[in-house]
Every structure is written in C-alpha cells, then in structure tokens.
Homo-oligomer: A and B are copies of this chain.
Amino acid sequence: MKIEKKNLKEKFSLINDYWNPRIAGEINDSHVKLAKVKGEFDWHHHVNEDELFLVNKGTLLMRLKEGDIEINEGEFIVIPKGVEHKPVAEKEVHILLIEPKSTLNTGNVKNEKTITRPEWI
C-alpha cells in the first residue's frame, strides 16, 4: 500500500453522521478511527481493548463510574479495558480513536448503534 499522509480536517469534512467511526489508518493490530459525535452514547465497556480518545474539535464529556471527565480540544484520554464509560457530546465533537481492530464501538452492548464493519475514509 502506498504511504500517504492523512489530513484530519479533510477527513472529518467527509463525515456526515454521528457515532459512526471511520477507519483512517492502521498501526499494527490497531486502527486509527475518526468520528463525529453528538448527543449521548450508551454505557458500555470493552472486555479486551483499551481505547484512546483524542479530541480534535469541541468538548467531549466522558462519563465514568468514578466521576466525569471533560476532554477538550488537544486533550486525550485512554479508557482501559473493562472500564464502563459513556461518551456524551452536548455539541458536535470530532474525535480521533486508537483501538485494536477487534474493537466494537458499543463494546459489550449490541444494539442499533453497533457498527460491525466500520468503513475506511
């Protein structure tokens, strides 16, 4: 595969829906994913996968059982495997995710928000 750089703004501009992470790159066994989010996601955890959220635009509220954490532009958080979390975005937020390729967006929960085969962008 040809080596190419990816421009985050350009890739985000191609996304027209929420909570539908697109694959923008792969590093070893992990994917780099990009998503626009707005509103409340469901509480869930990932049994085997840590998950990194880097906020590219806006403010993401990460609800955790131990307390909520507000993640602003230029900040990241790693949610370790097994930890219940619920991402909430009052306004539109652009996030970059790093997580193993095996990661389901809804983790241990399967419902209408579950994306089983994320697309490349």
Contact = CB atoms under 8 A, between A and B. Distances in A.
Contact of A28 (B9, B71, B100): B100
Interface in A67-100: 69-72, 74-81, 83, 98-100
Given A3-B83, A66-B3, A83-B3, A49 B28 contact: yes
A117 interface: no
A52 B30 CA distance: 11
A32 interface: yes
A118 B69 CA distance: 27
Interface of A: 1-9, 25-30, 32, 49-52, 56, 62, 64, 66, 69-72, 74-81, 83, 98-100
